[in-house]
Amino acid sequence: MNSSRAYLRAHLRAVLFAWTLMILAVAPLHGEDKSAKPSDNQTSNTEKLTLSHQSLDVRGKMLRYTATAGTLPLTDDAGKVEANIFFIAYTKEGTSDLAKRPVMFAFNGGPGASAMWLHMGALGPRRVLLDDTGTSLPASAQLVNNESTWLDFTDLVFIDPVGTGFSRAAAGVDAKKFYEVNGDIDAAARFVRLYVTRFGRWLSPKLIAGESYGTTRAAGLAKQLQNACGINLSGIVFISSAINFETLANDGGHDLPYALSLPSMAATAWYHQKLSAAREADQQKTLAEVERWALGDYLAALAQGDALGAPERDRVAGQLAAFTGLDKAYIDESKLRVDPSHFARQLLRHEHQMTGRMDGRVKGPVLSVVDGDERDPAFFLATGPFVAALNQYLRQDLHYPSDLNYEFISGAVHGAWKWGSGQGYLNMAPQLAEAMTANAHLKILVVAGLYDLVTPYFSQRYTFEHLGLAPSLLGNITYATYPAGHQVYTSLAVLKRLHADAAAFVQKALAN
């Protein structure tokens, strides 16, 4: 199975369509700063940096920091510039010993996504204001102080890969060399090495935070930094992980992903009150029941394929209907295999609504042709406000003037992406296991949302529980699962919990 096709089916069949619409619909806002503008071609090997000194009241304490926005050039062995990487860094002021102050490099995924969402939704000192649950589209884009910023326990560097944000390949360089799994990881490693060199952070503890495909990058980056740069990470935060794509590919004849996505569908059905009263009464108990059945009777039944007897088939269909809230007849017609994207359109169909895939709590009206409606209402509400707010923030607060389009998500990058040999499914788990085995101090935090139908929480846990690590290393992995979607931080309550869990994790990682 071609791994690119597998990924599209499992990870972004609905989401990529929404990305394309948003790229066409959202235009960047331009500031009026009259200072010199960076070249739109981004071909110089001179850093273009703007610095500003800012402060933030974090739960009654004043946090003073320096914000740096700009580009650093990636060069080949001969010194020729190949690309200019745009980044935004926040460093706490008044740090007396940088060797004790951690620095975290963060990015989103796509592939083809900028770091906008982690930056403006969770980690940075300013965030986009959403409703408290993160399930409704705000009337307008607003920026507020982020009291849950991770800057209070680590410096932050947000990285936009080539082709995203303001990052561009240099003139005369084929950008497609960066639009593939290993080329992307290599560029990220080179940037990290360059940053710690230019800003004197070689002795600082170093961490990575990645979301979605950003976790794919992070898994490979840990090994690449060790082998190519001599940089050992202290910790990695995996948010909504896509590490082993075999666990996400809902393809005919491939049964495991259907079992692994079932608990997230059950959680979504629970949220919309489509389960029995007994199961609605205790979500935790219900999901534990679903998880056991999914990897037990359900997977065993799927493994029999067409040889499954009629009585057993009928029993399994009934149990699936009870766990998902879907009609038993529809489940039978689907041969007991419900794709999460189909589930999102079926659960609320009698109400002429569809759920989000990135967040099953979100719902929106369907178009008249339900089967052709590939929108994701959850992605829509967490994109437009972010784009408008970020573009204003870049020019007004960070004083980074540019008429270049900030590519928050690039369909061109995603469409040109090369996934490897084309044989089998992309799986970065072995590289992560190698990195953890080589560096026994490396700590892992796995963050997941119960209502994530793109990278289901049970699929993520299955991957990390199948790394094949030595028993002595199993304690290096910590799990945090929240009542949220793919972008867990859109919920204010979860944002606060995530901050507390991440702070405790970093403290644990630095205890080495």
pLDDT digits (tens, 9 = 90+) for 148-172: 999 999 999 999 999 999 999 999 9
The tens digit of pLDDT for each residue in 366-412 reads 876 545 567 788 888 888 899 999 999 999 999 998 889 999 999 99
The confidence band for 420, taking pLDDT boundaries of 50, 70 and 90, is: confident
Q: Select the more confidently predicted residue: 23 or 481.
A: 481
Q: What are phi and psi of 189, to 5 degrees?
A: -65, -40
Mark whether 367 and 307 lie in a shared domain: yes
End residue of a domain, out of 328, 346, 375: 375
Write phi, then psi, for 369 (nearest 5 degrees).
Answer: -100, 95
Residues 336 and 317: their CA atoms lie apart, in Å, by 6
Q: Is there a single domain that holds both residue 223 and residue 257? A: no
Tokens encoding 249: 């590919």
Note the pTM of the prediction, 2 decimals: 0.91
Q: What is the mean pLDDT of residues 76-83?
A: 92
Pairing of strands 168-169, 103-107: unpaired
Query: Cis peptide leading into 111, omega within 30 of 0?
Result: yes
Question: Measured between alpha carbons, how far is 210 from 218 in angstroms, rounded to an integer?
Answer: 6
pLDDT at 42: 41
Q: Are residues 451 and 478 in the same domain?
A: yes
Are residues 266 and 201 part of one domain?
no
State residue 444 phi and psi, 5-degree precision.
-125, 135
Residue whose structure tokens are 């920091």 = 65
What backbone phi and psi angles, to 5 degrees, belong to 431? -65, -40
Give 503: exposed, middle or buried? Use CB within 10 Å, 0-12, 13-18, 19+: middle
Report DSSP letters for 169-222, one per residue: EPTTS-GGGGSBHHHHHHHHHHHHHHHHHHTT-TTS-EEEEEEEHHHHHHHHHH
If asked whether residues 394 and 366 sit together in one domain, one would say no
Q: Give the span between the Cα atoms of 40 and 17, in whole angstroms.
A: 27
Cα(456)–Cα(442) distance, integer angstroms: 25
Band of the pLDDT at 139, cuts 50, 70, 90?
A: confident
* Per-residue DSSP letter, 8: I
pLDDT band (50, 70, 90) for residue 34:
very low
Contact 84, 43 (CB under 8 A): yes
CA distance 497 to 447: 11
pLDDT reported for residue 222: 98
Last residue of a domain, one of 375, 396, 431: 375
Q: Which pLDDT score, from 0 to 100, does residue 366 have? A: 84
Q: How far is CA 109 from CA 104, 112, 408, 455, in A?
A: 16, 7, 11, 13
Residue 96, domain extent: 3-246+383-510
pLDDT at site 38: 33
**Quick count: other Cβ atoms within 10 Å of Cβ 493?**
13
Taking alpha carbons only, the member of 76, 104, 109 closest to residue 184 is 109
Report the percent of the chain where pLDDT is more than 70. 89
Domain count for the chain, please give it. Answer: 2
> Does 286 lie in the same domain as 242?
no
pLDDT of 46 reads: 56
Q: In this model, does residue 15 exceed pLDDT 80?
A: no
Per residue in 176-229, pLDDT tens? 999 999 999 999 999 999 999 999 999 999 999 999 999 999 999 999 999 999
d(CA 81, CA 116): 25
Give the domain CATH number at 434: 3.40.50.1820
Token pair belonging to 224: 């690449």
Q: Are residues 168 and 37 in the same domain?
A: yes
* pLDDT beyond 80 at 68: yes
Confidence grade of residue 347 (pLDDT, cut at 50, 70, 90): very high
- The pLDDT value given to residue 24: 32
Residues 183/99, Cβ–Cβ less than 8 Å:
no
Q: Are 64 and 152 a contacting pair, CB within 8 Å?
A: no
The residue written with tokens 């620095």 in the block is: 103
Residue 437: is its pLDDT beyond 80? Answer: yes
Which pLDDT band, with edges at 50, 70 and 90, does 71 fall under? very high
Q: What is the pLDDT of residue 373?
A: 60
Asked if pLDDT for residue 495 goes beyond 50, the answer is yes
